Amino acid sequence: MNIIDSFLKPFLFLLASFIFSLNCLADQDAYAKVSSGVLELGKNWNGEVNVKTTDLFVELHQLSDRSGVNLISDISYGDHELQVLDVLAPEIKSDELLPVVVFFHGGGLVRGNKVLPVSDLLLTNIPTYFVKNDMIGINANYRLAPEASWPAGPEDVREILKWVQENIEVYGGDSQKVFLMGNSAGGRVVASYLFHEPSHLADGSGVIGALLSSASFNANNGETQKNYYSEDPTVREALVPLGLADSYSGPQIPIFLWSAELDPAMIEVGIGEMYAKLCAKYQDCPRFTQFQGHNHISHIMSLNSINDEIGIELIDFIESVLEY
């Protein structure tokens, strides 16, 4: 080694370490701003809080790492314009087929998209996180009310699972290791499929586990539910996920329920009721967590950021199902 090399190599190492430290500090500062902003918004949920929470995360995800991920957008799984999905997979294909996680966005059954219009970093961060953890991520749209009505949600889930069974191996995914994940109304759509056997595939549900994030499970007298399910409150009670869970007689599917400290009370009540119902039904309670310091969407928006608190628990659940 000559004198220049003996000086230059340590200098370059120190420079790289310094730049890495600056980047880490920038990430930490960005997440601290997000965390304090979410707490300031408090235990409220409306359109304004939704927008403000999303805006907080845009800056954070501008710093996120999306390298090594291949995105294939807007693949049709049905005839309707909303029956499309994105597949995210490792750029370097694994020698083994990978587990698959299909994510369904929220939006009260009437709005929402697999990618938020404010930034293509959100909600793409969710399947990206799973790819970064050696899985295949799918981001799905589904038909919305008032054009769509029951059982459009579970039917769309079934059609996506058909597509997965027929196509996912091309992308490196294992069709026998499929998880469904949904936030808010997306969790309602997923749970509706899980507990509605007439919507299942011919050979069963086609999934080995589900992750339900701040999901909406109960019935109400709002116009959306009247249009989507029925004007008859008795029919609505039977068709929402809590009612379907009562009538479901198929095999138990591992479920991870979670809520947020700052979720609306009506959401947490429904999750609590679902937890109690499944405990009594199977004498075996599902996994449950209430994430502190988060609101209705901040937990899922934190995935693939410097804060790995949420992701660690999701991966732990998935691994526990795969190992069973």
Query: Can you tell me the distance from the alpha carbon of 14 to that of 239, in angstroms, rounded to the nearest whole number?
Result: 62
Tell me whether residue 136 is in a domain. yes
Alpha helices in 168-255 (DSSP H): 185-194, 223-228, 233-239, 241-247
Tell me whether residue 274 is in a domain. yes
Looking at the structure of the chain, the number of domains it has is 1
The per-residue pLDDT for 19 is 37
Contacts of 263 (CB under 8 A, 6+ apart): 43, 45, 214, 295, 296
The per-residue pLDDT for 5 is 56
The per-residue pLDDT for 26 is 52
In the chain, which residues have pLDDT < 70? 1-28
Tell me whether residue 41 is in a domain. no
Model-wide pTM > 0.85: yes
Q: What is the CATH number of the domain that holds 202?
A: 3.40.50.1820
Domain that holds residue 313: 68-323
The distance of Cα 17 from the centroid of its chain, to the nearest Å, equals 34
Contacts of 318 (CB under 8 A, 6+ apart): 99, 101, 135, 179, 209, 211
Tell me whether residue 234 is in a domain. yes
Tell me whether residue 280 is in a domain. yes
Tell me whether residue 46 is in a domain. no
The per-residue pLDDT for 30 is 75
Q: What share of the chain is helix, strand, coil (3-state, %, to 5)?
A: 45, 15, 35
Strand partners, 212: 182, 257
